[in-house]
Amino acid sequence: MKKTILFFLLLAGTGDVLHAQSIDLPNQTESLFDNPPPGKSNAQFTFYLSNRKRVMLEFGYISQTERFPDLDSLVRIASRMLLPLKDSLKADGMVRRVDVVLTNAVPKIRIISHPEFSNTYTVKDNELMQLKVNQDTVRIIGISNSRVMWTVIDVNGKKSLKEMSSSFAITLILNNVEDMGTLEPDALAKCLATLNPKIERFYKRDGPNSPPYSYRAGFNMASGKMFSPFNVSYIPSSPTGQEPFSGVVGFSMVAVRGSIVPSMQAGVSFNRHNNYFTNSFRFYLEGQYFFSRDAANKLITDPNTFAVFQFMQSSKRNTNNNALTFEGNITLGYLIRRTGEWYEPNTFKLGLPLLKNRHLSIEPQLVFSGFFKHVTPSIKVTFNF
């Protein structure tokens, strides 16, 4: 009976991993107007213009910049499309976000209005007028190719490389939406002319099945200089949290066999990524240290070491890294070094789905010897560096 219960616990844990992809269908409006997601693209560049105006370029692959369409033309097209809505977009103290999708023959527009959180006013020509503190946002979404090519399989099972298109966004941060008409005719061209010399050497990173790397920079267009990263050569990081290999280093407290046991773990993780999940295959050594005293009250330390394999699946929808969330997890460890009488020979431990945030994880475990003999529950709280 005990073995049957343990089997169903394991089955429930693997079910969380295997079927997680079939729930929570994406919101269609967000898929249309928030693609790429605001502020979450792999490449993000900000250009500071005059009169508090800013331009942000957001896209997936760095080599898209060499295949962008005429960005200034896209701004002019979006501005003309909004002309019939001019009265609705007037400077009335309302803060607005306008999304314009130009990825196909049928353009789409969304307007989100936000009243100011408090009533603010100013005096002009001896008249009290409403004062607008926050700025409007106009986001123009387009599509372009890059040097990245993806492996596709046809109906006959034949593999080939195909060039794939990716979306990009031009975000204009303005005092009012109608200020689009006051931008210089070649404002975006000047931004690209400032950006391209900094990033051209990284185009070669994009190729067959390339991962998306992370790029960030800020530019002062009045001087034409990059100010962030400050006074250093522009060196992008590895893929955004998507390194294929990463280290596993952590400190844990384990409640097991009637003791609270400190432990340390170190190893390596191989990570695979898709649009929804990060799958991590980890191998590490975990040393546990039991403390006791002999008849002479002398402290005795009994180290025990497990070799551990762990599969963990993390959802990319969890944007709040500080919140504890359930994650799919299967851990299997084998005792390779035994000291004292805390564990039996041929001891295993089995970890089930866990609660995890950026640095902390709480994992329930079962410890047993042989084929589910001497089974005891355990819980492991780990701080991950």
Size of the chain in residues: 385
Please report which confidence band the pLDDT of residue 239 belongs to, taking 50, 70 and 90 as the band edges. Answer: very low
* 352 touches 9 (CB < 8 A): yes
Average of per-residue pLDDT across 105-114: 86
Query: Which residues pair with residue 306 across a beta bridge?
Result: 286, 335
Phi-psi region of 221 (alpha: psi -120 to 50; beta: other; left: phi over 0): alpha
CA atoms within 13 A on the CB side of 149: 11
Query: Residue 238's pLDDT band (boundaries 50, 70, 90)?
Result: very low
One-letter amino acid of 362: I
What percentage of the chain carries pLDDT values higher than 90?
A: 44
Minimum mean pLDDT range among 216-225, 316-325, 360-369:
316-325
Arithmetic mean of pLDDT over the chain: 83
Which residue, 12, 6, 140, is CA-closest to 77? 140
Higher-confidence position of 214 and 303: 303
Instruction: Specify the pLDDT at position 234.
Output: 43
Domains defined for the chain, CATH in brackets: 2-22+243-384 (2.40.160), 34-228 (no CATH)
The CA distances from residue 337 to 140, 189, 310, 348, in Å, are 60, 64, 19, 12
Q: Check pLDDT > 90 for residue 140.
A: yes
pLDDT tens, residue by residue, 284-333: 999 999 999 888 899 999 999 999 999 998 876 665 566 778 888 999 99
